[in-house]
Amino acid sequence: MKLTGVELRRISIPLVAPFRTSFGVETTRDILLLRAVLDGQAEGWGECVAMSDPLYSSEYVDASVDVLRRFMLPKLFSLDHVDGAVVGPALEPFKGHWMSKAVIETAVLDAELRATGRSFARELGATKDRVPCGVSVGIHNSVGALLESVEGYVSAGYVRIKLKIEPGWDLEPVRAVRERFGDDLLIQVDANTAYTLQDARHLARLDEFGLLLMEQPLPEEDVLGHAELARLVKTPICLDESITSARTAAAAISLGACSIINIKPGRVGGYLEARRIHDVCLAHGIAVWCGGMLETGLGRAANIALAALPGFTLPGDTSASDRYYKTDITEPFVLSADGHLDVPAGPGLGVTPLPGPLAAVTTWTEWVPA
């Protein structure tokens, strides 16, 4: 099939509550969606997880629009045949811009699979038809407000709680959540690179809380620092921002920098590279889980499909739609009473945007012909 055109669509969708991490606060998601058309008829969707500002990573939405329009789409338009497996190698000459590569690969894969009646989950190699779900809880203004939020998520059925931390907001909130909800609740923390190796002694104080893992405490380039930290703390170290490919995952594993990896498809260039990271980790006995970037139902559907692969043994950030959005742009994903979400089984992603909700949040569109 040939890529005959692409629609770039920007949407602005408010969060149900502000989401604060060590690098900032989000109240509204500025999201780039991409609709790819193959052979003038088959179409598929992708969601770019870049943020408005280059805070989580060097990527941001305006840059994604630019690099897609000026470099990536012309390259793909020039090819006589495009399918999901072709996108990554074709775009390899362009350095970085993983999230931009991921969104076009996802849309092409979705179109290809819809045209042939195959599901995203089956194509990736999923072995489960439902996945356990955790939830990411941002930094709050007070411990009391945090406990109230966690109470709501536990009551809703989430099987794992992830607490965002930063210097000055770590020991006290984690202790409070552990004491309130007991030793049986799965709790992990995520620092989003907020600490340095000099904080090792302080981070070791988190060991007493029996955490599932400590996610990305040090800067993304400091893989050796993570290896040293792993020798100084008992809590398992999980890498997120440091992992950009199967190659970097293999290197981190060989250095002893982590015993768990958070796989975010947008951060690694797409779901096919995410599957390769999964395979590397599975071969080395490294646990993996699927991270989230506050996706709409489009990105959530793809993440749930990925999380159904056999190596995903820990609950991911594949929360229900109402965790972030009052109204999603697809049919909402609803958490079951036992804290699971069903894996979409229809062709492609198994979901499509609803015209009304999509139009209501659209701020800009551009059709880019081949």
How does pLDDT run across 65-111, given as a tens digit for each residue?
Answer: 999 999 999 999 999 999 999 999 999 999 999 999 999 999 999 99
Is the confidence at residue 38, as pLDDT, over 90? yes
What is the pLDDT at residue 147? Answer: 98
What is the pLDDT at residue 65? Answer: 98
Q: Distance between CA atoms of 158 and 164, rounded to whole angstroms?
A: 16
Residue 20's contacts (CB-CB under 8 Å, 6 or more residues apart) are 26, 138, 139, 140, 164
The pLDDT mean for the chain works out to 97
Give residue 369's pLDDT band: very low, low, confident or very high (50, 70, 90): very high
Is the confidence at residue 22, as pLDDT, over 90? no
170-197 tens-digit pLDDT: 999 999 999 999 999 999 999 999 999 9
Query: Active-site residue 264, yes or no?
Result: yes
Is the confidence at residue 24, as pLDDT, over 90? no
Is the confidence at residue 23, as pLDDT, over 90? no
In degrees, rounded to 5, the angle at the alpha carbon of residue 49 between the alpha carbons of residues 43 and 51 is: 135
Mean pLDDT for the stretch of residues 336-340: 95
The single residue of 75, 128, 162, 264 carrying the catalytic annotation is 264
Mean pLDDT for the stretch of residues 207-227: 98
The H or E element that residue 44 is part of is strand 42-48
102-156 tens-digit pLDDT: 999 999 999 999 999 999 999 999 999 999 999 999 999 999 999 999 999 999 9
Nearest alpha carbon to residue 265 among 107, 30, 75: 107
Residue 274's contacts (CB-CB under 8 Å, 6 or more residues apart) are 263, 264, 265, 268, 306
Percent of the chain with pLDDT over 70: 100
Mean pLDDT for the stretch of residues 14-40: 93
pTM: 0.95
Nearest alpha carbon to residue 90 among 103, 76, 78: 76
Query: Active-site residue 164, yes or no?
Result: yes
The single residue of 2, 75, 101, 164 carrying the catalytic annotation is 164
246-288 tens-digit pLDDT: 999 999 999 999 999 999 999 999 999 999 999 999 999 999 9
